[in-house]
Structure 1
Amino acid sequence: MNVHVPLLFWTICLPPGVDNGHTEGHSDIVRILVNVCNLEAQDDHKISPLFVAAQYGQGECLELLINAGANVNTQADDLATPLLIASQEGHQACVDLLLDHGADPNMACSNDWPQFPIHAAAEFGHVRLIEVTDRTCDRGEGMVSPLYVAIHSDQTSSVELLLNEGYSPDAQDYEDPLGFPSPLSMALYHTSTKPCSESIKLLLAAGATLNAEEWTHALATDRTDLLELILDYRWIPRPEAFTKNFSAPHHHGKMVFKLQEMRELICVALGQVDFASCWLSVLLKKGLEPSLLLHPHM
């Protein structure tokens, strides 16, 4: 490694305002070093000076390195890119600078599962990064929707941004390694002992599908707040509607339950008789036909 390169790494890592005996600050030192250093030199983890500048949010140093020709798509040993690390650390100015100079938002940045910078951005609500990312990460096979990351991090603003940009509230069925078949099931798990989160409301408003796991969260409990919330967003049609190829997606401003969602509801309800004193009255008041619940266990 060039003798000047360690100095370049060290100088970039210094936080702004550190007194090095130079009143002009360390960016002037970097301005000199970029002319005598190998800009693509890497440490033992294949981390370059530009990567370090993005990681520490050193926007001025980052711009100097970019203008000097440093590779904005360099990757560390673990495949992390400057765009990923800047997003993880919440350095929006560095994210914008990297994108302006050709950083690829669709470059895989993890060996574990296809993780893109947008997954890190979902923790901070970087609107621009959401707009420039290839949408295959939303529904593509083997992919993980950034909605999962936003919900896991309890970033309601990111959930709202992603849904507004057209990301599916159902995402893809991806239980391994996340352990949840849908963003809604993850949101329900994280609020199982707390009041319903804003993320749940956003997902329901966007039309998230209710399967057996989601209905279990709503019915296998002595709480009725989640069930009542679901029914604030959905309308229960009459049974005969399903025999007439009923296709109206909305009724009085509410989304209509799909046939499969109603089937899942009834199946879960019949398996949760112990809690019927809680959920039965709520469902009947909202228009559930009692005959649907005729079953020996009831």
Structure 2
Amino acid sequence: MTNISRESAFIYTFAYNDAERSLCHLEMRSFFGADTETKIIKSHVKINPSRSPFMKGRVEILADGDTVEEIIAKAPAFGSEEETNKVIFLKINDRQGIDKVENNERLQIERAIGSEMQGEFDLHNPNQLYAIVPFKGRWYFGMYTKSEPIWFKHMKKPREYSTALSTRVARSVANIAVPNPEGIIAIDPCCGIGTVLVEALSMGIDIVGRDINPLVCDGSRENIAYFGLTGDVKKSAIEEIVESYDVAIIDLPYNLYTHATWDEQFTILKHARRIAKKVVIVTIESMDERLEEVGFQVIDRCVTMKQQFSREIVVCK
């Protein structure tokens, strides 16, 4: 769940390679309204870090100061005699080059804060993790939540297509489409074997799947059930859909057996605009003129690479 609190603030750290940069930045903009090259961002938006395949963790800020000594002085106010704790210095921060905090200093800071906190310091199995991080000239300290790679468990599905989105890309696309699931109803009208559906459902997104091919509908239902999820997947052409949705996610068909002609793509896009307020399109070819012809306005986009194969992800309204 995503929410905005004027009383709470959070720091998020990210990890991605050059091929993933554009996709990660679009996901950041969807969550926070901004992106960053420093792989660290501060926001009032609260996100479960396990939602993103690129987030390393989240700090819920409890204290900040101009110097680390200010944080050490505040440390006795934190922790509990009933629980053990551990303080970690986040290696992903904006102190790089000559300003980089080296390993020995990081360890000293961790121990200095931990020794002043309430409760016992446990390096191996603490009840609560805390983190200290420098960011934009200040120091921040708070409770740390580490990201769990839930998407990794979804890589091996009973039914797979070689051209399906990877689980990492599918998860990020679901986040781009529905950064805040509360009150949002989504549809994947060309759901295939359900790669996007599995990721979206596992994050609590209210989404249904439709596909014109009954065999892939069967595969999608099997994949969803395999991971203990419940989803609504039915055989249906997009032009037959009469319900309205807040957002549609469309990975345009392009493989050897289901490559859509322009007329077929036009039909898919035209009806997507009819049934949804917002549409996220995954395509292997640029189609700005086609989107404009349908009446879409492009509000954001990115390119994701896999070896020599690229996809464009376009956010439209």
Which category describes the TM-score, using the shorter chain as reference length?
under 0.3
Query: How high is the TM-score relative to the length of structure 1?
Result: 0.23
Question: Where is the strand percentage greater, Structure 1 or Structure 2?
Answer: 2
**Structure with more relative contact order (C-alpha pairs < 8 Å, separation 6 or more):** 2
Query: How high is the TM-score relative to the length of structure 2?
Result: 0.22
Whichever of the two has the greater Rg, that structure is 1
Question: Where is the helix percentage greater, Structure 1 or Structure 2?
Answer: 1
